[in-house]
Chain A
């Protein structure tokens, strides 16, 4: 196979806003507003953005956990956007997800072993002793002891719970694992353990990650390529090195500059953007970022920039970057 594992084209997800006794639609939340990207085999694509930018909706649409309004999702070249539930079932095996909150995503009444074994049982891939042996192996792979299989989720720490979630995702030998903020709820020292585990597992199994996070530093460590989202759109996408060395979109620049550096000699905490993210109910016309952008021109208010190639697989949606021009 030569093509990318996952290919998303012009994905849109709109939610109606209803109000009043008649529940009439009074507006539309443009949660995801035309997003295209691809994830190669064995590759990690980081998706970063602030709350409400639509990154989680992208994750859930890719897995068809929410139905996209329009657009196309191709897995291994096959269009899965409109498959029915039964048709989708075999594909579900190759796509798994790890959620942010390991406290909310594990059934408190099931033992850890049952949780990890459930996907196998559901897909009829094992029972009895064989199933148990497989679960044991999964536990070892994620750094848990097989004797912990009998324990319930509340007997595990946050980091261990996230390991259970990862083991459950691994159970079906997926080709793509969507990680939705998998380390945000964890302490710093535990965060590093889980990130390392994810990196190691990918090296062993060769699956791909769609890795969603708001923390740029975390994304920088685990990704091969990074896409930056703002108000439902991808504003910049590039190889990791290229993006961090040479951010071209003013929003990416502001995002990078806002991260407090753990070095007291490099004091620089100067906010590059004022104000708040506008509401996705009525996103500003033109470039959605123009209301907070230092470089906004008249055209930015009316013309919606599209992702354009800036060389080396670096794409950016900003009018300042037309041609070879660079911002700042």
Chain B
């Protein structure tokens, strides 16, 4: 359904596992998706669902050992990233594909000026003089709407506020005009008014530069406001994929539905005093001891015998709306 000529990223059957003392666990298990030019794909899920490991796998940054990508392919602009050697990957990383992280303070070098950090990224990938790179750095800081970019370029990360640091990170990530930007919980550490600013900025720049965007978040509100398509992950698997409109209008997977029901909403016109929320009982299962069937079955109201025995395949419910649930047809009627 997506135009293949516009495809920036194609991930097929990605599998990333970790070898630990307590056993092998599949952090990412058979996950496939695509991202087109200028498109925003959101990956949602709770902690431990594999969304961040998916991102790290795309960047080939999974710590090895204990982790390893054991299967699948990651195709960026036609070339398979998993087939590249480390030197080849280094040419791509920060150049064609870059990433911004949740906590800007830990991902910036604390003893290097902001401007110099951007210069470093630029000069690594582009054949420009130090002077030209300086100009580019200041231009990038201006692009991410940092006031007084010339002065800020000479400052160190600790002199910037959290929001400003995240802007600097974005400037660095976009300095080489990558085809794909991965944002892993880019606003989770920020206050809500700053979050709104940063999300608006990312979307503006994406439109301006035509970058493909993979946005990883746990916040369904952020998903609704930014993405065109959404992947829902649970215990390492993709359990649902749909356009953002279809997903919020009619979620097919009981987990997605439960997640949506359990988020407290800011009432537009007031709520009754102390409204109980719908909760999903239980907790996320340990990835080391996953049940043979659907990993969500122990917490699912709709679970039947079959759910515990057999993992449900991803089925297409029309218009590219995929869901892995034996009872997807009944989800809408029951809840």
A residues with CB within 8 A of B: 44, 50-51, 157, 159-160, 187-193, 195-196, 199-200, 202, 214-218, 220-222, 224, 240-242, 244-245, 254-274, 276-277
Contact = CB atoms under 8 A, between A and B. Distances in A.
A50 B200 CA distance: 19
Given A189-B280, A265-B245, A195 B264 contact: yes
Given A187-B46, A187-B47, A262-B248, A192 B273 contact: no
B21 interface: no
Closest 10 CB pairs of A and B: A260-B221, A241-B270, A50-B191, A192-B262, A187-B46, A258-B196, A192-B277, A217-B264, A189-B280, A271-B196
Interface stretch (B8-16, B108-116, B222-230, B320-328): B222-230
A293 to B, nearest CB: 12
B262 A189 contact: yes
Contacts, number: 159
B265 interface: yes
B5 interface: no
B277 A196 contact: yes
A187 B195 CA distance: 19
Contacts of B168: none
17 contacts: A157-B283, A187-B46, A199-B276, A214-B192, A216-B192, A217-B266, A221-B264, A221-B277, A240-B273, A242-B270, A244-B271, A259-B192, A260-B226, A262-B263, A263-B248, A265-B245, A269-B199
A214 B195 CA distance: 13
A188 B224 contact: no
B244 interface: yes
Contact of A189 (B221, B270, B275, B279): B279
Contact of A264 (B191, B203, B224, B259): B224
Nearest to A243: B270
B231 to A, nearest CB: 15
Chain B, interface residues (CB within 8 Å), range:
35 or more
A240 B283 contact: no
A265 B243 CA distance: 12
Nearest to B274: A199
B223 to A, nearest CB: 8
Contacts of B219: 260
Interface in B236-286: 244-245, 248, 258-260, 262-271, 273-281, 283-284
A260 B263 CA distance: 12
Nearest to A259: B266
Given A260-B199, A261-B225, A269-B225, A222 B274 contact: yes
A168 B126 CA distance: 59
Contacts of A241: 267, 270-271
B97 to A, nearest CB: 25
A256 B270 contact: no
B195 A193 contact: no
Given A259-B221, A276-B164, 15 more contacts: A44-B274, A189-B46, A192-B280, A221-B271, A224-B273, A224-B274, A241-B267, A244-B268, A254-B193, A258-B196, A262-B223, A263-B224, A263-B248, A271-B200, A272-B193
A188 B217 CA distance: 12
Contacts of B107: none
B192 A50 contact: yes
Contacts of A195: 264, 277
B50 to A, nearest CB: 14
A269 B200 CA distance: 7
A188 to B, nearest CB: 6
Contacts of A196: 276-277, 279
A133 to B, nearest CB: 27
Interface in B35-83: 46-47
A107 B164 CA distance: 36
B301 interface: no
Contacts of B280: 189, 192-193
Contacts of A50: 191-194
B244 to A, nearest CB: 4
Contacts of B222: 260
Contacts of B142: none
A220 B279 contact: no
B218 A192 contact: no
B220 interface: yes
A200 B275 CA distance: 11
Nearest to A268: B225
B157 interface: no
